[in-house]
Structure 1
Amino acid sequence: MTPAARLQATIDLMHEVDSVARPADAVVSAWFRARRHIGDGDRGQILELLHALLRHQARLGWWLVRHGRKDTPRSRLLAWLALKEAKTPDQVDRLFGGAKFAPAILTDHERALLVKLQGCTIDHPGMPEEVRLECPSWAADPLRRRFGEAFANEMAALLTPAPLDLRVNPIKSTRDAVLGALTDLGLRAEPSAMAPYGIRVHERPSLASLPMLKSSEVEIQDEGSQLVAVLVDARPGDRVVDFCAGAGGKTLAIAAQMNNKGHVVACDVMEGRLKRGAERFRQAGLHNIQTRLLANETDRWVKRHKGGFDRVLVDAPCSGTGTWRRNPDARWRAQEEQGLDNLVSLQARILASAARLVKPGGRLVYATCSMLYEENEEQVAAFLAVHPAFRAVPLNEAAPRLTNSAHPDYLSLTPARHDTDGFFAAVMQREASPPPNALAKDNKEQTA
């Protein structure tokens, strides 16, 4: 593709992302599947530009409003070319030539905008801090509360591209073998700092060029996500539930830890996700996983299997603030419509219901990819206050290797401090001999 054709493709793709209420990665996958003629190199450049535009969306929009222009994918791209690539109006004019596959010729208003932006940079002293840091208004106060003086530093870290982390599937390979294979491909890679099966690749290869992905010897999984599975600490022969399994990323890691022995149930309320997960489980050579479609968090299946599992993971639906550098569109997908209060309420219901599955002496792991107190520490404290049969297991007891957490008792990771996605996880154990009246209080809570 020519440079101009790649620009037009980016505009088209941005229109698609803007117009549907689905995550950008799902939109991008479908968009490229319908355009298989676009080669890997061109795909990489289009994606890189798309993510750059998403990471600068608030600032680009601020400049457009400042100059009375409508915020559209085309105008956003024009502002980007002027502010970040420092292209002159004449240089942009040559790219927007109106030829086949190229963007349409610049209008007089668009050329006037480029003239006004010439010599400016993306940041401006008149920008509000939330705009400069690309922080949506609904999240600003909760994140300031979470980080205090470190707020700006953490938000800046969320504006950097996420690294490529892989998790080795021990059923099919070893970390040393995969590291050697990556080196043979000319890629710089090293063991992850904390995750026992993790690898960080210091390159941006075409994923289609990685044979170990096709063979399911590795999965793409952020190191923080891998550590959540480590905290589950599932052993061969255990009975385990991944209560909000989605497409099964953590389920895969848990089942592999168990060496294909025992039983894992991957639950979700979305049938499509479970079907994608089932295919991934098969390809990974894992045969100890069963999928279970739930009608809702209080599905009758939960009551029928009360107290039947050694480990239960609740990877709760959340605001996703910890994944913004990996999914830069997520911060702009109308969180206000769902509402943080509604999310917190849903998390509490899911956690209380899933807790019924834990047998005495078993463990419940609550996790989010959020960095907000409301969804994390406060959610756990509220659960423990009304479920005295459970106690929090300190991190140094649950996972002695994980000494770098931002919280002494729970796993708490941030991009600025740990160079992972933002993650939270708490381990709670159901006591084998609960305190007096604890069972009665638990039962009353669960049947309410």
Structure 2
Amino acid sequence: MTPAARLAATAELLQSIEATPRRPSDATANDFFRARRFIGGGDRRVVADTLWSIIRQRIRLDWHLRQAKSDPSARLLLAAYLIIAEGRGMAAIEAIFVGGKFAMEPLDARERRVLAALIGKSLRDPAMPDNVALNLPLWAYPLFLARFGETLPAEMAAMEQGAPLDMRANLLRTTRDAAAVALAAEGIATAPTPYSPWGLRAEGRKPVTNTEAFKTGLIEIQDEGSQLIALLTDARPGMRVADFCAGAAGKTLALAATMANSGRITACDTSNVRLEGAVRRLRRAGVDNAERHLLTPGDKWTKRRAGSFDRVLVDAPCTGSGTWRRNPDAPLRTRPEDLAELVVLQQDIIDRAAELVRPGGRLVYATCSLFTDENEGQMQGFLERHPDFAVLPADALWAELRPGVAAPCAGPYLATSPARHGTDGFFAAVLERRAP
């Protein structure tokens, strides 16, 4: 494809995403490329990289276009990005919009006027409101400010950087050192993660899923912050464990490894598709102490098994604000009403999951959110409703689980962030049910 054709494809894909604003952009992109198999791998990477760069800067680009008194059409967003982020001049932009079969139609007079006003502008303009300068939706800005205060600029700078590739060595099949050697033999250099005892980190994008190390279950792709939640759950051999919001079983796999395939772990979810998708992962990892349970409306499973689990992990559905560096379209798709709905849902889930915990057992509540309402706020409400539970301070647990390794943070809860820890933003609370 010519450069103009690649950019025309980028604009077309961006328009498809604009037409379905609530759908994840990667799903739309996958459909787009699947329907256009004539686009080769190299061209596809260029189109995708340009698309995600535009989406990552969308809040700032929208502001610039509003200053130029224009709505953000796909054509103008693309051209604005090329001018502001890449420094292209009007002549270069005109050369892209030349018409014909494989290029975008020429700019009209209004588009030229708008784009001419953007020449010489930079992504970060001193006149920008604070939320725009930090690349945050207006509604989310006070929530991030409440979490980070004066360190918010550093956190948002880290959020704009590409996330590293974290992997977890599967202790059912290997050790961390042996997994690193296996990956190195396939051309992927890694370093141990600083907090997780099982983690390996590679910089940049690597074709990990094509390696024999992945195919044979030596490693799983998992952010270090997510691994730390499994660590704090402290699932041991012989225990009965429930992963109450298991999804595709990423944390189920980690828990099965800490249990050394001994005892029983039940992966629960409301989606049969997600649970069915977990089967291959469990088999590849060599997990044979796991079972699956589909949670359905009116299901009596929770009541029948009340008080019978040593550990119950609730990796609750959330806004995912701690993973926005990996999902740059998420700030654009997420709305304040989504947060309000999720807070209600989280409360219901954790109350139901708490029934499963035996006296002396532990409930672990976790999110990949940075918002207080989904984290500390949920814990405050839960403890008021359930006085038979008490918080086990995460820093004290850490000293038991990782002696000699500095805890990622002090206090009763685990709370990680990209700038401070190099991980996604995760929250975890460990609660113990008192014996009657």
* TM score, norm. by length of structure 2: 0.92
- The answer as to 2:387 corresponding to 1:377 is no
The Cα offsets for residues 257-308 of structure 1, whole Å up to 9 and x where unpaired, read as 2222221111111222222122322233222222211125x73211011011
Within 5 Å, give how 1:32-431 maps onto structure 2: 32-207=33-208, 209-296=210-297, 299-338=299-338, 340-400=339-399, 401=402, 403-431=406-434
In the superposition, relative to structure 1, how do residues 163 and 118 fare at CA in structure 2: closer, same or farther (>3 Å)?
same
- The structural deviation recorded for 1:13 is 2.6
1:346 alignment partner AA: L
The Cα offsets for residues 364-403 of structure 1, whole Å up to 9 and x where unpaired, read as 1000111122211121122122212211111233222364
In the superposition, relative to structure 1, how do residues 5 and 235 fare at CA in structure 2: closer, same or farther (>3 Å)?
farther
- The structural deviation recorded for 1:46 is 2.8
Q: Distance in 1 between matches of 2:262 and 2:86?
A: 54
- The structural deviation recorded for 1:241 is 0.8
Q: Is the 8 A contact 1:344 1:374 kept in 2?
A: yes
- The structural deviation recorded for 1:35 is 4.1
Q: Is the 8 A contact 1:88 1:114 kept in 2?
A: no
In the superposition, relative to structure 1, how do residues 222 and 30 fare at CA in structure 2: closer, same or farther (>3 Å)?
farther
In the superposition, relative to structure 1, how do residues 140 and 307 fare at CA in structure 2: closer, same or farther (>3 Å)?
same
> What secondary structure sits across from 2:349 in the alignment?
helix
Alpha carbon RMSD of aligned pairs, Å? 2.1
> What secondary structure sits across from 1:380 in the alignment?
helix
Q: Distance in 1 between matches of 2:101 and 2:176?
A: 48
In the superposition, relative to structure 1, how do residues 40 and 411 fare at CA in structure 2: closer, same or farther (>3 Å)?
farther
Q: Distance in 2 between matches of 1:197 and 1:18?
A: 40
> What secondary structure sits across from 2:139 in the alignment?
helix
Q: Distance in 1 between matches of 2:169 and 2:98?
A: 47
Q: Distance in 1 between matches of 2:209 and 2:4?
A: 25
Greater mean alpha carbon deviation, residues 39-48 or residues 264-273: 39-48
Q: Is the 8 A contact 1:165 1:222 kept in 2?
A: yes
The Cα offsets for residues 17-68 of structure 1, whole Å up to 9 and x where unpaired, read as 3333232333334444444454443333333222211211110001111112
Which residue is 1:443 aligned to? none
Which residue is 1:440 aligned to? none
- The structural deviation recorded for 1:92 is 2.2
1:412 alignment partner AA: A
Q: Distance in 1 between matches of 2:173 and 2:41?
A: 27
Q: Distance in 2 between matches of 1:5 and 1:215?
A: 40
In the superposition, relative to structure 1, how do residues 290 and 182 fare at CA in structure 2: closer, same or farther (>3 Å)?
same
The Cα offsets for residues 314-360 of structure 1, whole Å up to 9 and x where unpaired, read as 0111121111111111111142332x333222211111110110111
Q: Is the 8 A contact 1:396 1:403 kept in 2?
A: no
- The answer as to 2:18 corresponding to 1:18 is yes
2:137 alignment partner AA: P
> What secondary structure sits across from 1:311 in the alignment?
strand
1:60 alignment partner AA: L
Greater mean alpha carbon deviation, residues 124-133 or residues 384-393: 384-393
Q: Distance in 1 between matches of 2:168 and 2:37?
A: 28
> What secondary structure sits across from 2:314 in the alignment?
strand
Greater mean alpha carbon deviation, residues 30-39 or residues 417-426: 30-39
Q: Is the 8 A contact 2:398 2:407 kept in 1?
A: no
Q: Is the 8 A contact 1:59 1:134 kept in 2?
A: yes
In the superposition, relative to structure 1, how do residues 404 and 108 fare at CA in structure 2: closer, same or farther (>3 Å)?
farther
> What secondary structure sits across from 1:106 in the alignment?
coil
2:320 alignment partner AA: G
- The structural deviation recorded for 1:173 is 3.2
Q: Distance in 2 between matches of 1:303 and 1:139?
A: 38
The Cα offsets for residues 409-437 of structure 1, whole Å up to 9 and x where unpaired, read as 21110111111100000111112x23xxx
In the superposition, relative to structure 1, how do residues 37 and 62 fare at CA in structure 2: closer, same or farther (>3 Å)?
same
Q: Is the 8 A contact 1:319 1:335 kept in 2?
A: no
The Cα offsets for residues 163-206 of structure 1, whole Å up to 9 and x where unpaired, read as 11112222333322332233334443211111122111023234
1:238 alignment partner AA: M
In the superposition, relative to structure 1, how do residues 88 and 38 fare at CA in structure 2: closer, same or farther (>3 Å)?
same
Tell me the matched-pair count: 431
Which residue is 2:3 aligned to? 3
Q: Distance in 1 between matches of 2:33 and 2:103?
A: 18
Q: Distance in 2 between matches of 1:261 and 1:31?
A: 45
> What secondary structure sits across from 1:351 in the alignment?
helix
Q: Distance in 2 between matches of 1:329 and 1:69?
A: 21
> What secondary structure sits across from 1:87 in the alignment?
coil
1:313 alignment partner AA: L
Q: Distance in 1 between matches of 2:17 and 2:239?
A: 42
Structure 2, unpaired ranges of 5+:
none
> What secondary structure sits across from 2:378 in the alignment?
helix
